[in-house]
Structure 1
């Protein structure tokens, strides 16, 4: 089915107060309660509870196969749980049209399967139609084009706005996709291993862009999936550790990300250090 542009107000979108200033919502943008996902008779997630509020920036961490991508697909209204409940932007999965709901959740996937040589500005504008390509007979307004240009500049790509997709570095593509995810003015942005394939400089530029984004949009909530703690932005506020589909720890990042818990999460002795908001890890020697 061909995607269509959103035509209604996003669920629980901030409304104007009598003073003309937006009233920031206080209800959770995401809530999963005792969620279990079973595939082919095998549990992928078991009794996972997560609550994300406006302005919070969560990291989902765990080894390969821990269930991170499955949980993110629930957060993005891509799949239903086998048991438990999921509420995204105040709407419970199973009671709403997922296609409509997904239009208001930003999703950044570095494996974006675009094959056409679109320009950066064109890619960003497809965030309004939730499509890979510009839709036939749909054209953006001047206001939407100006919004795209503001986001492109915010992500440090103003000088590349007319560059075509095949000519972009992996880091430039990642920042383009973040700008794209922000076009429908979402309250929640999901980032699925956004630093995949980046070299050191590209990764740092991407993480700087994420911190700039969070400062510019204080009510925005984000959920970032990774298994590399070095890829966590300094603005990360909360973390959830998954091991074998179960929550090992969840809460404020300073309480959750400890050497003992990370070692248990990845089943390997790890020493974790934090400097100026960023994390570094190194393997510790196993006791003999």
Structure 2
């Protein structure tokens, strides 16, 4: 079991941020977490990464139950790519050093990287067709190039779980499709980590994501196979408005019934 969350709630004062969340991910599955802004997606991710502790319920990640394991060590087995992380990195660092820092789950490098670390970093960059960026300063890269560097960083420790938190934010349509192609190819390699892709855009959901979790106002609206979740009926109820969902070329698209 990659992830096992049972009856989890998070409260701040008297307000629920997450309420009665139960969700499990088995090895070999790739999931989408779909929800609008304010739905609780970011809080859920922060909890999975051990930055927020639940007010009630049980959380087990990669077989490690919260409260019985050093969460700092757990984070080294989880790759995390997010816009928030991108903003914390140093623009004057070489791309390869940012990738290497993923091995230590740190912002910046505090020691000279070993030859082995550099070799591993180059392998991850090559996997993403991004080795040409290795010597460039991070701040000089385009948004799409930065996201590839962050994914390579997330893969540096060979994680069993890789979380992609709205990785297409700020990308133009061509850069977005290129990044989605990279994610799709990554999901198909033999030793791919379990992927959790977080988005509020239906058309970013790739066929490789077999399961979907739909969140609304801090609660789970529905979860299950992506084919069952992304239907006109379920999404109309989820968005609380009449929509039509169609599938073409293995991708989904919605239109509003005005």
- TM bin, normalised by shorter chain, reads over 0.9
**Equivalent-residue separation in structure 2 for 1:229 and 1:45 (angstroms):** 22
Query: Following superposition of structure 1 onto structure 2, how do residues 26-105 of structure 1 map, counting pairs within 5 Å?
Result: 28-105=1-78
Gaps of 5+ in 1: 1-27
> Does the CA-based 8 Å contact 1:127-1:184 persist in structure 2?
yes
Aligned twin of 1:264: 237
Quick one: which of 131, 148, 169 aligns to 2:121?
148
> Does the CA-based 8 Å contact 2:31-2:195 persist in structure 1?
yes
Larger helix share, 1 or 2: 2
SS state at 1:212 partner: helix
Aligned twin of 1:134: 109
Offset of 1:217 from its aligned partner?
Answer: 4.2
SS state at 1:103 partner: helix
Q: TM-score, normalised by structure 1?
A: 0.85
**Equivalent-residue separation in structure 2 for 1:213 and 1:198 (angstroms):** 19
SS state at 2:83 partner: coil
Query: Following superposition of structure 1 onto structure 2, how do residues 130-279 of structure 1 map, counting pairs within 5 Å?
Result: 130-135=105-110, 138-279=111-252
Quick one: which of 122, 131, 134 aligns to 2:97?
122
> Does the CA-based 8 Å contact 1:56-1:220 persist in structure 2?
no
> Does the CA-based 8 Å contact 1:31-1:87 persist in structure 2?
yes
**Equivalent-residue separation in structure 1 for 2:242 and 2:114 (angstroms):** 54
Q: TM-score, normalised by structure 2?
A: 0.94
Offset of 1:234 from its aligned partner?
Answer: 2.9
**Equivalent-residue separation in structure 2 for 1:222 and 1:267 (angstroms):** 28
Between 1:98-107 and 1:227-236, the stretch displaced more is 227-236
Offset of 1:269 from its aligned partner?
Answer: 1.8
Gaps of 5+ in 2: none
Query: Following superposition of structure 1 onto structure 2, how do residues 13-28 of structure 1 map, counting pairs within 5 Å?
Result: 28=1
**Equivalent-residue separation in structure 1 for 2:253 and 2:35 (angstroms):** 16
Offset of 1:100 from its aligned partner?
Answer: 1.2
> Does the CA-based 8 Å contact 2:186-2:192 persist in structure 1?
no
| Count of equivalent residues | 256
**Equivalent-residue separation in structure 2 for 1:105 and 1:53 (angstroms):** 15
